[in-house]
Structure 1
Amino acid sequence: MKNAALLNAIIENAIDGIITIDDRGLIETINPAACKLFDYTPEEVIGKNVSFLMPPPDRTQHDEYLRRYQHTKVPHIIGIGREVMGLRKDGSVFPFRLGVSEVQYSGRVIYTGFIHDLSKQKQAEDQLKEYASHLEELIDERTISLKETVQALQKAKEEVSVSLEKEKELGQLKSRFVSMASHEFRTPLSAVQLSASLIDKYAQPLKSENISKHVARIKNAVGNLTTILNDFLSLEKLEAGRVEPSFTPFDLVKLAEEITEELQMVAKQNQNIIYQHTGKISTISLDQNLLKNCIINLIANAIKYSGENTFIEFTTEITDSACIITIQDNGIGIPDADQKHLFEPFFRAHNTGNIPGTGLGLNIVARYTSLMKGKIHFKSIVNQGTLFTLSFVTS
């Protein structure tokens, strides 16, 4: 009795549905879990053929399955793990896994069906299939998009290659033109400069202020044109990557004194360049030509943007670890808003007015300094002056 009560308790409280039928397929018992699955009360199903809990075609074939098994002992509905469909009271169907066992009980054969609901599992599988299908669609879309992107990139690459080739050709043409123009212009400019000097010499006995004034204008104009040509030629070489610094030892003080003497001759009236060197060492290893260009450019700017009766301070200093070069004037200064653009090519500060210039000089100075692994800094206040500092590591 205890075993029977225990078995009954297990069946009544089982999570899965349990149904027993006789050899004619009539339902003898059904547990609460099965009643809940099919939405029937025990009274509504006991005594009825189990096929009424099945949707077509299983409903019409069930009795044939049972007779075939009883005759051949080869199971069709008997077994574990077969997936079938169930029919609820409201007409809806649901999937479940059916396991059927043959049981000898009280001298007769009964069949016990164990029913495990697969609704949630099938729903999850359907969702997974839907996600997989959606993922495949996304992959197809992304694949198409990627192919289009690759094709677009390939086309862009081809266009860029064509553009680069054209740009290369234009660059070569520009390089040849700048070089040709620079050399071709130099010859007539030299002739003009020489003629102006001769005119000035032959006119000296006449002591004509007008002649001297106009000769000075000619010389000044030739100097400006020569500077422009030099700037464009230097920029073209930099852009073409044809400027390679040559580091060789030279006497910085001697170079600075030569530059000071040369530029003092073109300074404005009563405009004095004061040079001073600090330190016992005077030899430095840099590219002498590039450094000379930088210093001349900075002092020429100081002359150009400062007035008459002013001083331009030019200093050099060599220590065990660095070389410092400064050029300071008390000219028009650089507006704060313009200072961040100062080293850009063709940029000129807004307060330069009619003072001639290409806007290339400081760009060239900065690039030459960088090629020599140096740095350029400046401080400037409008109407008070500007200080430029070139610094190079020597150790």
Structure 2
Amino acid sequence: MASFPLPPAMFTRVATPFGTAPADPETREALALFATHVADRAVLLTDPDGVILFCNDGTELLFGREPQLLIGCDIAGLMTDDARQARIDRERAIKAATVRFETRCLHIAGGAFDADVTITPIPGADGRLRAFGYSIVDIGDRKAAERRLAESEAHMRSVLATVPDAMVVIDDRGRIRSFSAAAERLFSYREAEVVGSNVDMLMPPDHRARHDAYITRYVRTGEQRIIGAGRIVVARRKDGSEFPVELSVGEANSGNGRIFTGFIRDLSDKQRAERRVRELQDELIHVGRLSAMGTMASTLAHELNQPLTAIAAYLEAARRLTGEAAADRARALEAMDAAGREAVRAGEIVRRLRSFVARGENERRVEPLVPLIEDASRLALTGARESGVRAFHRFDPAADHVFADRVQVQQVLVNLIRNAVEAMGDAEVADLTITTRREGEMIRISVIDTGAGLPSGQIPRLFEAFATTKADGLGLGLSISRTIVEAHGGRIWAEVGAVSGSMFHFTLPAARSDSAS
């Protein structure tokens, strides 16, 4: 590989691409040798018009051309830029003392490569421009890496732009470093507005003071409370409105320290939907109570007629006896007392019916189980005893209190009891048994009858809406019962009776009696 000494006339003491060249010949020779053998870049000298005067061995590595073949050529021929642009670059170098830029250079084998070019004007001893020094470095690998990184970042941004969850990246000081497109939509901030700011700007005021302390404690102790686990928190939009979100936080270590990535999902629509579902469930339950009321209307009319007839008879007898002797007046008072008791009885029947039908709120509290079952039994068995139904209770002393909505659980019991009564309409033995049993943290309540029983093939579909074994039934009673029980955290199921009839069971959460206070 040929090498060429730097032209001696160029150096009395002048600037070069490597600094200021000394005037003595030995040092100039050493500098020329150094420039010749720099292998990681091309070093060239041109006259003021761009004609090549010198080039080092690195030139051949970059351009594939022997140095001696380039002497006397225009340096613009090594670049994709034309001679006019090369002249403009040299003029820029004169004005700025040096200029550096990126361009494309040409290899003799064909094709272009990315290059970093530095041009330095070199004056002579009289201060007039004598030459230009060029330093050219192949940056193809670096540019390719930059392009891959840019493509990767663009791909990542395109992915993040389509992710429905908002993503916010912060450093260990709580400053926002990245803000996804979904986060922009969710919080109504542009990324440029929030990057560099503390993430507490996305929180309600009462949460802000605690957030930095959380990060400091975690960095100091390593104790994870949110990292790796989701939780429900409150966030704040640009307009100041607050809304519920589900927050999941991940952690990573970057070259600049620890970073935390928060994935944020807006729960506003979800919570609205859940509230609507609860409203619809309450509506359905209320409709179920109204339906049950309709089926009991005729029986209740008969049941109420008895105490009201008795009241009228007692009052008529009292009227007749008020004018008689003292003994008769005493009998009149007894009759009026009996009339009062019958009036109270009629009122109690109406009260239970109104309580059952009333919409009310879904209020769960600790309830004593035995009175709850007894009230539901009295309501559901109205008129049943005249049909020969015998009712039995077996209560587990350990199953004394449940955590439940009293009216809704009574609706389940009334539905199961009345179904049992109807199932025993033609049975020779019509025994109804209601039992309770403690099973860990739950209490099982069972309604057992001696009726015709259930076909085994129908049991899996019993609790589906509109599935019924009755000729005139709508099939909503058991479906509503399942909705109520499952909303309480329990389950409901049916079995064929051990001897005859059927058994319906459901569970409710047990509660301690002392928690009622």
TM-score under structure 1 length normalisation: 0.50
If asked which structure has higher relative contact order (CA below 8 Å, sep 6+), I would say 1
Question: Which structure is larger by alpha-carbon Rg, 1 or 2?
Answer: 1
Instruction: Give the structure with the larger helix fraction.
Output: 1
